[in-house]
Amino acid sequence: MITSQSRKLPAALALLMAPALWLERARGRWRLALGALYLVILVVAAALAWRASRLYGLPDIGDPFDPTPLRVLDVPEDENAFTLYRQAHARARRNEGIERRIFNAPYAWPGSDPEALAYLAENREALELWRQGCKRPEALYYRIDALRFTSKMTLYAEHRHFVRMALVEASRLRDEGDMAGAWMWYRAILRGSRLIGRHGPLIGWLVGVAEYSAAQGFVASWAADPRVDTPLLRQALDEVRVINEMTVPPSESIQVEYLSAMHELDDPEALERYLLEYEYVEPMDGLDKTAWYSHWATFRWANRFLRHEPERTRRLLKLAYANILAHCDQPPGRRPPMIGTKDAPLLLYDTSSPAGAPSPAALVERLQSSHLFRAVFPAFGSLVRAFDRDRATRAGLVIRLATELYQREHGRPPDSPEDLVGTYLERLPDGYAGADTPKIDTPKAPR
């Protein structure tokens, strides 16, 4: 019996074979033209298939957190530390030669340097504006929806400059025996280190880490000075604990980095032009700045189209940030190990992945194949170590101040940090790990 399916088969085969039959029957120029048309169709089909494969195994999991609170975040001008930081920056008078002489550890007051004294006097109003800014409760450098990869970060570098000037002022007051006045400047530095990175990108967070680390040695030596009386020392301990509570978790800055990267991908052509012009960007797969064709806009557009960019990088970023944000706020002992590649050994946490997504090990390999991803994704391995150091440094300073206070009131140091709990501390601070906690550094220059 002849079925309907067998009747349809020759017609289906005929349809499939039709292009070959047409080519066989064509003659002369028509055959060449038809062959060229088939070749173009095959090339286009292969290119589109390759383009589609760029998203294979990369589900769109959506934003790894709710971005709305950060996108709508605003801080009133009269509460924003950056309002006064900008005014201080505008009034500051710089002199590289003098700054090289006096802004070095131990930041001694330059009493025998008339030129330096005149410089400090000229900048006293600007420094006071900066100090008042450090008393503000909040800080927002850029609105998150306006932050870009190319946004200027001048006030971060300027903030370090004011920290150095504040250390010199504190040195003057200590020389004069005004220990409360010196603490006023140390407190400003510590508060400023928590404000500078608030609601901002990771560079601001890291500036604050460096400033706190630079100041804690001076605070420790100040606390050990017998001219600091017990009430002032207790005040300093209480205020340092409050300042430490101002520290935003690393996840906030990481979320800001994510939103900034997504903003950049809205205009990938502008991002690629920046990467080609920026001298510190190395040639990379997909955008070799040493190749002439990379400077041709049409080539860059075609390259992005075939690589399914920027959609591919968006999906990679969502998966990578979901991995990082799941563990970045955890203490070291609770975080899974990090994995990476030879060139970037610490990229992602070795943990479970969302449904349908590649494992962290497989994802790491795909991350490195996207030049746009590599341009906007920070090196989280070194950043995680900075997070841990900052947590330990803050804990170490609290223990040091509480220990000094205990010794003043008992005439001897405590037998162990646990002796501080109850009278001086409610509990040992987060990040304190006994002998593993870094010791208080000797005073050094903030880099």
Domain with 225, as residue range(s), is 73-252+384-436
Is residue 444 in some structural domain? no
Query: Is 215 found in the same domain as 165?
Result: yes
Q: What is the pLDDT of residue 345?
A: 73
How far apart, in whole angstroms, are the C-alpha atoms of residue 182 and residue 329?
A: 33
Is residue 29 in some structural domain? no
Query: Is 389 found in the same domain as 317?
Result: no
Is residue 65 in some structural domain? no
Q: What is the pLDDT of residue 333?
A: 84
How many Å from the N-terminal Cα to the C-terminal Cα in the chain? 89
pLDDT at 189 over 50: yes
Q: What is the pLDDT of residue 355?
A: 85
pLDDT at 439 over 60: no
Is residue 221 in some structural domain? yes
pLDDT class for 302, splitting at 50, 70, 90?
very high
pLDDT class for 283, splitting at 50, 70, 90?
low
Query: Is 81 found in the same domain as 143?
Result: yes
pLDDT: which is higher, 17 or 264 = 264
Task: Give CA torsion, residues 224, 230, 236, 241, to 10 deg.
Answer: 100
111-122 mean pLDDT: 96
Closest C-alpha among 129, 114, 120 to residue 170? 120
Query: Is 313 found in the same domain as 280?
Result: yes
Query: Is 363 found in the same domain as 231?
Result: no
The last residue of a domain, from among 333, 358, 379? 379
* Contact by Cβ (8 Å): 70, 144: yes
Is residue 11 in some structural domain? no
Per residue in 338-349, pLDDT tens?
Answer: 988 777 777 899
Per the DSSP assignment, residues forming a β-bridge with 287 are 284
pLDDT at 50 over 80: yes
Query: Is 411 found in the same domain as 289?
Result: no
Average pLDDT value for the chain? 88
Query: Is 427 found in the same domain as 344?
Result: no
83-97, 291-305, 329-343, 422-436: the lowest-pLDDT one? 422-436
* Contact by Cβ (8 Å): 336, 349: yes
* Contact by Cβ (8 Å): 230, 219: no
pLDDT: which is higher, 431 or 81 = 81
Is residue 137 in some structural domain? yes
Query: Is 272 found in the same domain as 248?
Result: no
How far apart, in whole angstroms, are the C-alpha atoms of residue 216 and residue 214?
A: 6
412-420 mean pLDDT: 93
Query: Is 414 found in the same domain as 269?
Result: no
17-39 mean pLDDT: 70
Give the CA distances from residue 247 to residues 82, 145, 441, in Å, rounded to whole numbers and listed in that order: 17, 22, 20
Collapse the DSSP code of 355 into the 3-class scheme (helix H, G, I; strand E, B; otherwise coil) and give the result. Answer: coil
Per residue in 316-368, pLDDT tens?
Answer: 999 999 999 999 999 888 899 998 877 777 789 999 988 889 999 999 988 88
pLDDT at 43 over 90: no
Return the structure tokens found at 361.
């090990």
Query: Is 215 found in the same domain as 139?
Result: yes
DSSP string across 295-319: G-HHHHHHHHHHTTTTHHHHHHHHH
Query: Is 336 found in the same domain as 409?
Result: no
Is residue 88 in some structural domain? yes
The last residue of a domain, from among 340, 360, 379? 379
The last residue of a domain, from among 358, 379, 400? 379
Total number of domains constituting the chain: 2
152-174 mean pLDDT: 96
Query: Is 284 found in the same domain as 147?
Result: no
Cβ neighbourhood burial of 364 (10 Å; 0-12, 13-18, 19+): buried
pLDDT at 36 over 80: no
Is residue 33 in some structural domain? no
pLDDT class for 281, splitting at 50, 70, 90?
low
Q: What is the pLDDT of residue 5?
A: 46
